[in-house]
Amino acid sequence: MLIRVGYELVFQVPARTPMLLVLYTHPSRAASLREADQVHVEPGVPVEEFTDLFGNRCGRLVAPPGKLRLWNVTSVEDSGEPDEVRPSAQQQPVEHVPPEILPFLLGSRYCDVDKLTDVAWSLFGQTPLGWPRVQAVCDWVHQNIQFGYQFASPFKSAHDVYQQRTGVCRDFNHLALTFCRCLGIPARYATGYLGDIGVPASPCPMDFSGWFEAYLDGRWFTFDARHNTPRIGRVLMARGRDAVDVAITTSFGPTQLEKFTVYTDQVPEPQPTGLAWR
């Protein structure tokens, strides 16, 4: 399966402003790219690429005053298989979790573990360990949080989501992964492209999507409390402790977003052509 992905972002920048960009597909997707994945900038200022502490491909630039346009379109090969489901996957005791995984058990900017630990154990303390416990968390969040773009807020933490019972995809998954951390299951935030492949098309404009990964059986598995069903065509861009670590742009100064467009479309397979000989 071939998936076309891309974006166009337009900002008004009042003064010279440094910016960080997390707009590339993840390095783990490099082998599946059909075209170069690079950030195009107008006006043409240089973009310095680097790899962050979480292994994400990132860039930085200094935006001049005026209008700044960032865009790219590329194509990605995908297996067409839905997210893996392994109900037998087990969690490790915290004392056996590898040191490099331990940060994903701790609180972070949007994942206030300290405020939700008692709640998590009261809700899920009697559920079976491992995959069934993570799935129970996703089921509860999916059933108890109301989705709506009008509920989006850059200040909303997992505890806020639990109290308000509303949010967007990142809020659903911040709450779910925070519950997992409270329960001793390492969990990290992920973001990328997720088109309407294999599901009814959404009437809402396309956006980047957020989900999370839980550490079971010594590896990471994808979960998504917002959709709560295995999906096809997930294209990873970045992973981190929470949405702070994977923000698509971070400006060190005031900027105003004027246009935001995301593309995620399955490319139709070419049909065979030619004459049939008799």
The predicted model gives 240-252 an average pLDDT of: 97
Q: Are the C-beta atoms of 171 and 163 separated by less than 8 Å?
A: no
Residue 199 in tokens: 């599901």
pTM comes to: 0.94
Q: Which of 29, 23, 8, 20 is nearest to 235 (CA)?
A: 29
CA 96 – CA 131 distance, rounded (Å): 17
The helix/strand/coil state of 264 is strand
Residue 11 in tokens: 């900002």
pLDDT band at 50, cuts 50/70/90? Answer: very high
pLDDT band at 268, cuts 50/70/90? Answer: confident
CA 17 – CA 249 distance, rounded (Å): 12
CA 30 – CA 37 distance, rounded (Å): 9
pLDDT digits (tens, 9 = 90+) for 99-138: 999 999 999 999 999 999 999 999 999 999 999 999 999 9
Q: Which helix (H) or strand (E) holds 138?
A: helix 131-144
Residue 96 in tokens: 């056996």
Q: Are the C-beta atoms of 190 and 211 separated by less than 8 Å?
A: yes
Domain borders along the chain are 2-79+247-267, 94-240
Residue 71 in tokens: 């865009």
Domain 94-240 indexed as CATH 3.10.620.30? yes
Q: Evaluate if residue 277 carries a pLDDT over 80.
A: no
Supply the DSSP string of 28-97, one letter for each residue: GGGGGBSS----EEES----EEEE-TTS-EEEEEEEPSEEEEEEEEEEEE---PBPP--TT--PPPGGGS
Percent of the chain with pLDDT over 70: 96
Determine if the peptide bond prior to 99 is cis (ω within 30°): no
What mean pLDDT value characterizes the chain? 95
- Name which of 119-128, 231-240, 247-256, 264-273 the model is least confident about: 264-273
CATH class of 2-79+247-267: mainly beta
Burial 159-197 (b: 16+ CB within 10 A, else e): bbbbeeebbbbbbbbbbbbbbbbbbbbbbbbbbbbbbbb
Q: Are the C-beta atoms of 9 and 22 separated by less than 8 Å?
A: no
